[in-house]
Amino acid sequence: MSTIFEIYNLIFYQPISKLLIFFYQNFKDLGLAVIFLTILVRVILFPFHYKSSKEQEKLLKIKKGIEEIEKKFNGERKEKEILELYKKEKINPFFNLLSLFIQLPILIALYQVFLKATIQFNPLFLGIFNLSKPSLILVLIAIFLQILYFKIASPRIEKKKTNFPFSQTSTYLFLLPVTFLILIKLPSAISLYFMTTYLFLIFQKILFHV
């Protein structure tokens, strides 16, 4: 287990920590350091997000075909036909899982680095916000950008009935208060990270449609 932590520390935590120190030393403002580090990380993760989005679009396109296979076949034959459909459409059903596996330790490292930074450095952002403490204003801005992103990113709601008990809209409505309750208890450096992330994702969606 210690080996895993050493690898995580070497590959993810230390580089991210050094990058934050670099930005802080250049901008002399922890908030600006958080913003620029977040943007840099999102740029690095963009290829994974882009590929994942395209895979999701392909899956939506063959949804009807999968439903027809599920009606016609059972057991191993059904699984074989679905895999053949994936192969035909050049879809990797495991890419999203792999993408998440790669991104998760980066996001965890960011969270840890930002929390530690509020103790190591001057936590003031623009001389106004104390990033070591919760900020209702930054939380509300983060929530607003989250809502805006969901609105832009959500596909048109289909009128046809689906087999899913919860729609995307209901999922988003559930996530909003959860996000608020989490952020309002954490140092506002995390809220600033959320703000920057969703602002980046909004521009990413507008410019690249992913």
Q: Is the pLDDT of residue 83 over 90?
A: no
SS3 82: helix
**Cβ contacts of 58 within 8 Å, gap of 6 or more:** 89, 90, 91
d(CA 176, CA 11) in angstroms, rounded, equals 32
What's the CA gap between 49 and 106, in Å, rounded?
14
85 or 123, which is more confident?
Answer: 123
In this predicted structure, what is the pLDDT of residue 158?
A: 43
78 vs 30: which has the higher pLDDT: 30
Q: How confident is the model at residue 174 (pLDDT cuts 50, 70, 90)?
A: confident
pLDDT at 157: 43
Domain residue extents for the chain: 2-208
Across residues 200-207, what is the average pLDDT?
92
Q: Which of 13-17, 45-49, 150-154 has the highest mean pLDDT?
A: 13-17
Task: For 1-34, give the DSSP string.
Answer: -HHHHHHHIIIIIHHHHHHHHHHHHHHS-HHHHH
pLDDT band at 71 (very low <50, low <70, confident <90, very high): confident
Residues 162-173 as b/e (b if ≥16 CB within 10 A, e otherwise) read eeeeeeeeeebe
196 touches 39 (CB < 8 A)? yes
The Cα 119–Cα 48 span in angstroms is: 32
Round to the nearest angstrom and report the end-to-end CA distance of the chain.
37
User: Would you state the pLDDT for residue 166?
Assistant: 45
Residue type, 207: L
At residue 70, the pLDDT reads 81
For residue range 118-172, what is the model confidence (pLDDT) as tens digits?
A: 999 999 999 999 999 999 999 999 999 999 998 887 754 444 444 444 455 566 6
Percent share of the chain, pLDDT over 90: 50
For residue 125 the two structure tokens come to 């952002």
23-45 mean pLDDT: 95
pLDDT for res 113: 95
